[in-house]
Amino acid sequence: MSNIHAVIITIGDELLIGQTIDTNSAWIAQQLNKLGIDVVRRVAVGDTKDAITNALDEELQKASLLILTGGLGPTSDDITKPLLCDYFGGKLIVNEKVLTHLKEMFAKRNRPILERNMKQAEVPDVCTVLFNDMGTAPGMWFEKDGKIIISLPGVPFEMQHIMTNVALPRIKDHFPGDAIVHRSVFTAGEGESFIAEKLLDIEASLPNHIKLAFLPDSGFVKLRLTGKSTNIEQLTAEIEAKQQEIATRLGSIVIAMDDMPVEKILGNTMKANGKTIGIAESCTGGYIGHYITQVAGASAYFMGSIVSYDNSIKQNVLGVKEETLTTYGAVSEETVIEMAKGAMKVLNVDYTLSVSGVLGPDGGTGRVKVGTVWMAVASKDEVKTKEFRFFYDRERNKEMAAKNGMLFLWKFINNKLSA
Amino acid sequence: MSNIHAVIITIGDELLIGQTIDTNSAWIAQQLNKLGIDVVRRVAVGDTKDAITNALDEELQKASLLILTGGLGPTSDDITKPLLCDYFGGKLIVNEKVLTHLKEMFAKRNRPILERNMKQAEVPDVCTVLFNDMGTAPGMWFEKDGKIIISLPGVPFEMQHIMTNVALPRIKDHFPGDAIVHRSVFTAGEGESFIAEKLLDIEASLPNHIKLAFLPDSGFVKLRLTGKSTNIEQLTAEIEAKQQEIATRLGSIVIAMDDMPVEKILGNTMKANGKTIGIAESCTGGYIGHYITQVAGASAYFMGSIVSYDNSIKQNVLGVKEETLTTYGAVSEETVIEMAKGAMKVLNVDYTLSVSGVLGPDGGTGRVKVGTVWMAVASKDEVKTKEFRFFYDRERNKEMAAKNGMLFLWKFINNKLSA
């Protein structure tokens, strides 16, 4: 087992009052993990000298690699750079490369460069600069008693850019270590407990260096195997054998052998079969189209979506009959069938998915309860329908409807609907 | 100033390998903040006895309120409950109310109840149960040396439900404290540094108990004033005067006096004017429709969106001329004008927004660089266009296009486009 332990420290009052969700830590953790470095803790502290200094003191005792993000902006609530300079006993000096880059950035955007922006070119003379060609705040690399401390801006794409291009390669050189291998099995249709019960003996049979975790999300359950070893070939073979054993045991509820989102699973099917899809969505408001187009290259198979939020659009664009809407309502099997068939014509595709429901908090009626979502999938020859019930709030119900809709379409296209 | 300091501890290996983004901490921090309780640190640790025990020991020295989330599921990687039971010197006993609830939940979903689910009805006899009527894992409230330790499930909607209905009212009774007041000014069109420069003297004039923070996001900058005092009326008056002073200074770049997303700002305008909107989106794939329908009650003004990802949909549904597409390309001023006008007809609304661009990583041509997005807004009488350039990755470019599109439409409807 490797002894390289990392701690991620995020700095900023906005994290402590909940105004910002910390996505940086998760991203950094993923990257370090690939290098075989364990993140043992993540700590968020406010923009005060005491809080930051205290976190540095404490976490340096627990880890050999600290990654700090945030606190490097041009405004006066950002105090991290001078603090780090003091902490490591240096003084601030202008870095000419950073200064030139700053001037160019402002010129390109036709904005005047201010004194406080120029200050961003100052760096402690006791650090190595991690050049930030996507933004104004440079990253910094400090070494102390054999430990590494890296400070990065908090803006996610700037942080990611510096990490990928500069910091991670340096970290890899500095800490050559054990390999970590992850393998996943992605399931839909059964709960966490039920699956755990079916895998009791397999879980018990795992060697000490392989762990199994259960990660439920929006009606899906991801199973993740994680192993660590110096021998990456042997570990990979071992962990893939366990992955296969689990998949065989779980049978038809397995939808992928990878940790990938449903839109990617659907996209892979479409890229392989050369067919096209289109959507007719109501309550999801465009969210399904959004998910599908998160996949680069989706234009090869995704033609479009008719977001028919109002009934007039269902009638005028998709050709749903007024009679159907008045007799059965917008949230009904009859309506989603006509939506899916209408979309086949309007979008001229091989397969369609239609979705109409009541996500809440209001909009329920005696006939249709909040959380009810009807869906239909259609091809040239066939239409299938399904009624879903989601029990949560508007936002979560929408996410579940979108993800389950893509899964429904994927199953239909792959002839797995009876499963 | 209040002395009530809280620490949030999130438990789970998935947080340390980056498989899960921690949204719970932000939500909890917001809620505590409203009660005048400062969150001073957030710590994430893995599912090991040492890590959790160590975090409890350390953070209990720093705070009078600890909130733990995660580690309470039915699978064997969840070890928090027995650990807490030991830590506070209790033993596990079955809670009849929780057991009855569990049996009912499984019956309602037609799933067999397993031994490991029944286990979830066991709670330490040294805690007060915080009943979870949305899930299977109950929350727990412990007291030790005048400090409060609350353990909650990690599933966001279950955690939120228990907090809102049970934990927060108890916390409020237990720690009556200072009030915290936040006020925001939401701006678009200028950078953080430029704004900070314009507000130098106002920032310097703030009393010690009021802080100003700059929060840039997707081309917008939110300014947040935070104050703390025992006299809530006086504090509110004082902080609102500063908010007004800032807004007056910044003039036309201010788009709202509240911390609310653009879709909500747009929604408020539409609810007030009684008009309708519709979208014709290409590269954003449905994301604009999704944002708009995140606002409850959007059905009053949002009719729908034509997601014309493929050019055939631009032609067949929106009526864009083939000649326009071949002469100028899909990403052009001419095309978005025809899309916006076409959407006016097809969706039969008062205002439309159309969006067509290249978000990357591929798809750029000699004529159109990656990151170029053309937009048009239309009413019955006029059409306005704008070319945007976004410099980031596909996902972020999409988000910026969606948010800036809604802002463009909002400005058009409010006659603020020249500003």
Q: How many residues does the structure list for chain B?
A: 419
State whether the Cα torsion B312-B313-B316-B319 is positive or negative. negative
pLDDT of B392:
76
Give the C-alpha separation, B129 to B133, whole Å: 12
Give the chain B residue whose CA is nearest to the CA of A118: B193
Chain B residues with CB-CB distance to A183 below 8 A? none
List strands edge to edge, sheet with B5-11: A128-130, A139-144, A147-152, A65-69, A5-11, A38-45, B38-45, B5-11, B65-69, B147-152, B139-144, B128-130
Q: Does the beta carbon of A218 lie under 8 angstroms from any beta carbon of chain B?
A: no
Mutate to test the interface with A, among B24, B42, B222, B314 (most CBs of A within 10 A): B42
Q: Does the beta carbon of B144 lie under 8 angstroms from any beta carbon of chain A?
A: no
Could B40 and A45 be called an inter-chain contact, meaning their C-beta atoms sit closer than 8 Å?
yes
Question: What pairs with residue B149 in β-bridges?
Answer: B66, B142
First to last CA, chain A: 42
Looking at the complex, report in whole angstroms how far the Cα of residue B361 sits from the nearest Cα belonging to chain A. Answer: 8
Question: What pairs with residue B413 in β-bridges?
Answer: none
Q: Does the beta carbon of A216 lie under 8 angstroms from any beta carbon of chain B?
A: yes
Q: Does the beta carbon of A172 lie under 8 angstroms from any beta carbon of chain B?
A: no
pLDDT of A110:
76
Residue A219 — very low, low, confident or very high, per pLDDT cuts 50/70/90? confident
Task: Measure CB to CB from residue B394 to each of A216, A296, A310 and give the nearest one.
Answer: A296
Q: Name the more confident of A105 and A142.
A: A142
Query: Where do runs of H (alpha helix) occur along A129-231?
Result: 156-162, 168-174, 192-198, 200-204
Tokens of A302: 């995704």
Tokens of B279: 């979208």
Query: Where do runs of H (alpha helix) occur along A166-298?
Result: 168-174, 192-198, 200-204, 232-250, 262-273, 287-292
Classified as helix, coil or strand, A82 is helix
Tokens of B97: 């109310």
Mutate to test the interface with B, among A187, A293, A348, A369 (most CBs of B within 10 A): A293
Q: Does the beta carbon of A212 lie under 8 angstroms from any beta carbon of chain B?
A: yes
Q: Does the beta carbon of B178 lie under 8 angstroms from any beta carbon of chain A?
A: no
Could A193 and B29 be called an inter-chain contact, meaning their C-beta atoms sit closer than 8 Å?
no
Q: Could you tell me the domains of chain B?
A: 5-174 (3.40.980.10), 179-256 (3.30.70.2860), 262-413 (3.90.950.20)
Peptide bond into B361 cis (omega under 30): yes
Residue B67 — very low, low, confident or very high, per pLDDT cuts 50/70/90? very high
pLDDT at A21 over 70: yes
Query: Where do runs of H (alpha helix) occur along A300-357?
Result: 311-316, 322-328, 333-347
Could A41 and B40 be called an inter-chain contact, meaning their C-beta atoms sit closer than 8 Å?
no
Chain A residues with CB-CB distance to B346 below 8 A? 316-317
Looking at the complex, report in whole angstroms how far the Cα of residue A74 sits from the nearest Cα belonging to chain B. Answer: 6
Could B51 and A44 be called an inter-chain contact, meaning their C-beta atoms sit closer than 8 Å?
no
The answer for residues whose C-beta is within 8 angstroms of residue A42's C-beta and 6 or more apart is A7, A8, A9, A10, A25, A29, B15, B16, B42, B43, B44
State whether the Cα torsion A72-A73-A74-A76 is positive or negative. negative
Could B116 and A213 be called an inter-chain contact, meaning their C-beta atoms sit closer than 8 Å?
no
Which residues between 366 and 385 in chain B have a beta carbon less than 8 angstroms from any beta carbon of chain A? none
Looking at the complex, report in whole angstroms how far the Cα of residue A354 sits from the nearest Cα belonging to chain B. Answer: 14
pLDDT of A3:
67
Of the listed ranges A73-87, A187-201, B35-49, the least confidently predicted one is: A73-87
Give the C-alpha separation, B419 to B245, whole Å: 20
Report the 10 Å Cβ neighbour count for A174.
15
Residue A408 — very low, low, confident or very high, per pLDDT cuts 50/70/90? very high
The answer for residues whose C-beta is within 8 angstroms of residue A109's C-beta and 6 or more apart is none
Give the C-alpha separation, B166 to B131, whole Å: 7
Could B41 and A39 be called an inter-chain contact, meaning their C-beta atoms sit closer than 8 Å?
no
Q: Name the more confident of A108 and B166.
A: B166
Tokens of A176: 């050559």
Looking at the complex, report in whole angstroms how far the Cα of residue B412 sits from the nearest Cα belonging to chain A. Answer: 22
The answer for residues whose C-beta is within 8 angstroms of residue A372's C-beta and 6 or more apart is A331, A357, A358, A387, A388, A389
Per-residue pLDDT, averaged over A310-315, amounts to 98
Exposure on the CB side of residue A267, measured as CA atoms within 13 A? 18
Torsion, Cα A60 A63 A69 A74, to 10 degrees, reads 20
Query: Looking at residue A61, what DSSP letter applies?
Result: T
Chain B residues with CB-CB distance to A306 below 8 A? 304, 306-307, 317
pLDDT at A117 over 90: no
Using only C-alpha atoms, what is the Rg of chain B?
A: 26
Give the C-alpha separation, B149 to A215, whole Å: 25
Cα Dmax for chain B: 78
Per-residue pLDDT, averaged over B318-339, amounts to 97
pLDDT of A50:
94
Location of structure tokens 């801006």 = A153
pLDDT of B147:
94
Looking at the complex, report in whole angstroms how far the Cα of residue A144 sits from the nearest Cα belonging to chain B. Answer: 24
Could A42 and B44 be called an inter-chain contact, meaning their C-beta atoms sit closer than 8 Å?
yes
Q: Does the beta carbon of A53 lie under 8 angstroms from any beta carbon of chain B?
A: no
Cα–Cα distances (Å) from B39 to A23, A44, B3, B389, in that order, read: 19, 10, 11, 38
pLDDT of B365:
76
The phi and psi torsions of A27 (rounded to 5 degrees) equal -65, -45
Task: For residue A280, give the H/E element and its range.
Answer: strand A277-281
Could B285 and A299 be called an inter-chain contact, meaning their C-beta atoms sit closer than 8 Å?
no
Nearest Cα residue to A368 out of A334, A314, A331, A322:
A331
Query: Where do runs of H (alpha helix) occur along B71-155?
Result: 80-87, 96-108, 115-118
Of the listed ranges A301-315, A354-368, B70-84, B241-255, the least confidently predicted one is: B70-84
pLDDT in tens, B182-222: 899 999 988 888 899 999 999 999 999 998 988 877 778 99
pLDDT of B193:
86
Reported in sequence order, the residue ranges of B207-329 that DSSP labels E, i.e. its strands, are 210-217, 220-229, 254-256, 277-281, 302-307
Chain A residues with CB-CB distance to B316 below 8 A? 346, 348
Give the C-alpha separation, B153 to B132, whole Å: 9
The answer to whether residues A333 and A387 touch, using CB atoms and an 8 Å cutoff, is yes
Location of structure tokens 């779980």 = A250
Looking at the complex, report in whole angstroms how far the Cα of residue B41 sits from the nearest Cα belonging to chain A. Answer: 5
pLDDT of A417:
85
pLDDT in tens, A123-173: 999 999 999 988 888 999 999 998 999 999 988 888 999 999 999 999 988
Task: Measure CB to CB from residue A224 to each of B19, B283, B290 and give the nearest one.
Answer: B19
Give the C-alpha separation, B380 to B348, whole Å: 10
pLDDT of B398:
94
The answer for residues whose C-beta is within 8 angstroms of residue A366's C-beta and 6 or more apart is none
Tokens of B114: 């397993």
Give the C-alpha separation, A29 to B98, whole Å: 36
Mutate to test the interface with A, among B19, B277, B320 (most CBs of A within 10 A): B19
Looking at the complex, report in whole angstroms how far the Cα of residue B22 sits from the nearest Cα belonging to chain A. Answer: 7
Could B215 and A20 be called an inter-chain contact, meaning their C-beta atoms sit closer than 8 Å?
yes
Chain B residues with CB-CB distance to A316 below 8 A? 346, 348
Give the C-alpha separation, B400 to B392, whole Å: 9
Task: For residue B40, give the H/E element and its range.
Answer: strand B38-45
Q: Which amino acid is residue A294, in one-letter code? A: Q
Give the rounded distance of the alpha carbon of B367 from its chain centre: 37
pLDDT of B1:
37
Q: Does the beta carbon of B389 lie under 8 angstroms from any beta carbon of chain A?
A: no
Nearest Cα residue to B285 out of A122, A405, A298, A183:
A298
Location of structure tokens 């993800």 = A403
Peptide bond into A112 cis (omega under 30): no
Tokens of A304: 């479009």
Could A212 and B77 be called an inter-chain contact, meaning their C-beta atoms sit closer than 8 Å?
yes
Q: Does the beta carbon of A353 lie under 8 angstroms from any beta carbon of chain B?
A: no
Residue A1 — very low, low, confident or very high, per pLDDT cuts 50/70/90? very low
Chain B residues with CB-CB distance to A45 below 8 A? 40-41
Of the listed ranges B209-223, B374-388, B400-414, the least confidently predicted one is: B209-223
Chain A residues with CB-CB distance to B203 below 8 A? 76
Q: Characterize the bridge pairing of strands B147-152 and B65-69.
A: parallel
Mean pLDDT of chain B: 91
Classified as helix, coil or strand, A203 is helix
Give the chain A residue whose CA is nearest to the CA of B12: A213
Per-residue pLDDT, averaged over A216-232, amounts to 86
Q: Does the beta carbon of B415 lie under 8 angstroms from any beta carbon of chain A?
A: no
Give the C-alpha separation, B222 to B242, whole Å: 15
Give the C-alpha separation, A318 to A128, whole Å: 60
Share of chain A above pLDDT 70, in %: 98
Q: Does the beta carbon of A111 lie under 8 angstroms from any beta carbon of chain B?
A: yes
Please provide the DSSP assignment of A7-19 as one string.
EEEEE-HHHHTTS
Tokens of B142: 């412990």
